[in-house]
Amino acid sequence: VVGYDLTRLLVGSEGTLALMTEATLKLTPLPEAIRTARALYRDMQSAAHAVARLMAQPITPCALEFIDGAAMDMIRGHTAADLPTHARAMLMIEVDGSEACLDAALASVRQAAAVDGLLEWREAQDQSEVDTLWATRKALSPALRKVAPKKINEDVVVPVSRIPELIAALEQLSQTHAIPIINFGHAGNGNIHVNLLLDPDAPGAWDRAHACLDEVFAKVLELGGTLSGEHGVGIEKRDFIERELDPTAIDLMRHIKQVFDPAGILNADKALPLREPPSAT
C-alpha cells in the first residue's frame, strides 16, 4: 500500500473524523457447507478453557459464541431450545468449508471442545435445529431488557487464552459486590459482553455497580485486553480510555482530530477524554 491506510483510520474513528458518503465493498463467496453444534458445560470455567483450546487448534470456527449459566436461566422461557438446568455454560460453534473436508474439521473441533466438564455435544441435524440454536443466542438481549431494564452493559475484549481468568474474575466480582453479572459474547475473538444487573431502588446499588465496573476494567487491562470491542468508546467509556492509552497516544489522536475536523463539529466530545477547562486567573 502506498501512503497511509486512511480507510482503517476512518472506519475506526466513530464518526469523529469524517462522514462516509460511499463505500465499495468486496464480497467473499458463501461457504459450500456449514455445520452447527452446541456444547454444554458444568461451569463457566470449563467452557472458557474449551474456548482457549478451540482457538489454539488448526481449524478455526467461523462462529464461537459463549453463554453463561445465568444467561441460560434467563432465556429458558424465550427459546424452544432444550437447556438443561444442570448446564451452567454453553458454546455455540459453527464450522464452514468444503463438504468433503467438513466431517474431519468438525471432528477436530469436537475433540478440542471435549475438556473436563463437557456435559453434552450436539450437532444440529437440520436447518430447523440450526435456527433454534441461533434463536437462543438472539433472545438474550430482548430478555435482558425485560429482566433488567436498568443495567450496565459493557463489551470488553481479552486475548482468547486469558478468557478463563476473566470469567473467574467476573464470578468473584459478582459475589464481592453482590451484583448479578450475566456474560455472553463472541468468544472466538475474546469479546465478552459483561452485563451488571441493577435494582435501582436498592440502597447503594449504583455505587456498588460503578465500583464493580471499575474493577472489571482494571482486570481486563491487567489481562492485556481492551475496554471496548464492538460498541466503541463514545461518551460512556470516554473517561476510561486514559487507563488504556498513554498521554502520548491520546495527544496524537487529538492532533489527528484537529487535522480532519478543525472546527470540532464531527461527533463532538466523543471517543477522546475532554480537556480540562483552563483555570481562572
Mean of the pLDDT values across residues 220-226?
97
Residues 87 and 134: their CA atoms lie apart, in Å, by: 18
pLDDT(279) > 60 = no
Mean of the pLDDT values across residues 186-207?
90
Q: In what order do the strands lie in the sheet with 151-157?
A: 118-123, 33-41, 89-97, 63-68, 181-186, 191-197, 151-157
The grid coordinates listed for 237 are 467509556
10 Å Cβ neighbour count for 165?
16
User: Which tops the pLDDT comparison, 173 or 239?
Assistant: 173
SS3 category, 61: coil
Mean of the pLDDT values across residues 173-199?
93
Closest CA to 188 of 124, 255, 92, 75: 92
pLDDT(172) > 90 = yes
pLDDT(81) > 90 = no
The grid coordinates listed for 231 are 460498541
pLDDT(122) > 80 = yes
- Going along the chain from its start, the domains and CATH numbers come out as 33-140 (3.30.70.2190)
pTM for the whole thing? 0.87
pLDDT score recorded for residue 147: 77
pLDDT score recorded for residue 276: 60
Mean of the pLDDT values across residues 52-75?
93
- Could you tell me the pLDDT band of residue 66, with boundaries at 50, 70 and 90? very high
Q: In this predicted model, what pLDDT tens digit does every residue of 20-36 receive, in sequence order?
A: 999 899 999 999 999 99
pLDDT score recorded for residue 128: 94
- Strand-pairing partners, residue 38, are 92, 122
SS3 category, 33: strand
